[in-house]
Amino acid sequence: MPHVNVTHLASKGTVLGTVVLSLLAVPSHATPAVPLPKPDLTTLQGRLVTALKQGAPGAIARIDDRGTVERAAMGVADHKSRRSISNADRFRIGSVTKTFTTVVLLQLADEGTLRLDAPVDRYLPGLLPDRTITVREILGQRSGLYDYTNTMFAKTVPGFQEVRNKVFTYRELVKRSLWHPRTSAPGAAYSYSNTNFIVAGMLIEKLTGHSVRTEYENRIFKPLKLRDTFYVHPGARIPGRHASGYLTPDEKGAPLVDATEQTMSWAQSAGAVISTTRDLNTFLSALLGGRLTSPAQLRQMERMVPAGTNQAYGLGLRRRDLSCGISVYGHTGSVQGYYTYAFATKDGRRSFTAVATTSNNVSVLNTMVGTLESAFCGKQSKALRAAPPVERYEDIAPGIARD
């Protein structure tokens, strides 16, 4: 039987935003139109157990809802010690990093240092061959820049082993993208590309004169007191208590590969942050509650274009439209060994993070997306009574369908 750990905790207090922006009024959308259904904790636990049966060594989830906390944890944190996994364990959040990166750039826009509709070339002259690509198109995944991870991870395990200990510069990664034709004209279509957020990291460092680590820490981690959130690059280890991540090989039946230790240099500002379910929920609640940017910049972030079935993409932010009619906002994270779903209601009052400690496993991927239904739709979810959405693409190599 998988290890099961479910707790309920009521707490008081709020998380403060940045010193400068904490005085901003909460935007008008912060009052929900209708009460949210109660989470369906039994079904949520069942989904995590299913993820274990499908190959994930461990799975965790946490719901924060106006002072009430619900947690679930199934399985083990690592194969060697067999220690039970916990919501206190840190993990690699993958592309949820993109939302952190976007917040830093929107704060720079609030400060007048950056214009969303200015060309990237204004700030990084000569970096991109098409000098019309704007910052907005970069953050909205509409630049047309090829995703270099499609080539890098065309073969899952060999691709990972090739880069796990390497250290890349941003320009080396952009160069790998520019070896390939663009997928569309700038602004013409949504096309998910990690290249965009490598460029975003370069913008942060050019405009501030500091590393992305310093900007994340000073603008987000420290003001929100995210004690378990770090940008670790090029160090390969997750500091402190953490859950190991296991990569599923392409060959059926092959043993899982422990992918926990890696430089994450292939991702950097597109995916190298480490966090916990608590810290991610705190971050999303603060962001969507209007405590990290001005209301005007948050509205820019929430301007969405279609990005697949029942979902859309804004600026570093995904929207998922659930079966009960509720939409939630956040990001997915796929990195070797970890699947993360981190989403919240538009007012930020209910936030939810779920993690499975494997990747390259479509069955687990689809099970984990179903946790959103349990957390936000509760027993009103129609997902079990109809054909559920099928996830086939990951944030790593999104142009490659995994069977």
Known catalytic residues are 95
The C-alpha atoms of residue 121 and residue 141 are separated, in whole angstroms, by 17
Q: Which residue has the tokens 């240092």?
A: 113
294 phi, psi to nearest 5 deg: -70, 160
Two tokens, residue 53: 């049966």
Please give the C-alpha separations between residue 364 and each of 288, 391, 398, in angstroms, as whole numbers.
Answer: 28, 10, 16
The C-alpha atoms of residue 52 and residue 57 are separated, in whole angstroms, by 6
Bridge partners of 70, per DSSP, are 8, 63
Q: Which residue spans within 123-220 are E strands per DSSP?
A: none
List all residues 6 or more positions away from 62 whose beta carbon is below 8 Å from its beta carbon: 69, 70, 71, 72, 87, 277, 278, 281, 352, 353, 354
> At 355, which helix (H) or strand (E)?
strand 350-356
Two tokens, residue 180: 């390939």
Let me know: does 45 contact 72? Beta carbons within 8 Å: yes
Let me know: does 108 contact 114? Beta carbons within 8 Å: yes
The C-alpha atoms of residue 192 and residue 160 are separated, in whole angstroms, by 20
Let me know: does 335 contact 359? Beta carbons within 8 Å: yes
The C-alpha atoms of residue 53 and residue 69 are separated, in whole angstroms, by 26
Alpha helices (runs of H) in 153-193, residue ranges in sequence order: 156-163, 170-178
CA 71 remoteness from chain centre: 19
Tell me the chain's radius of gyration from C-alpha atoms: 20
Please report the sign of the dihedral spanned by the C-alpha atoms of residue 132, residue 137, residue 143, residue 149: positive
- Beta strands 327-335 and 318-321 are antiparallel
Let me know: does 61 contact 332? Beta carbons within 8 Å: no
> At 60, which helix (H) or strand (E)?
strand 58-65
- Count Cα neighbours of 170 within 13 Å in the Cβ-side half-sphere: 20
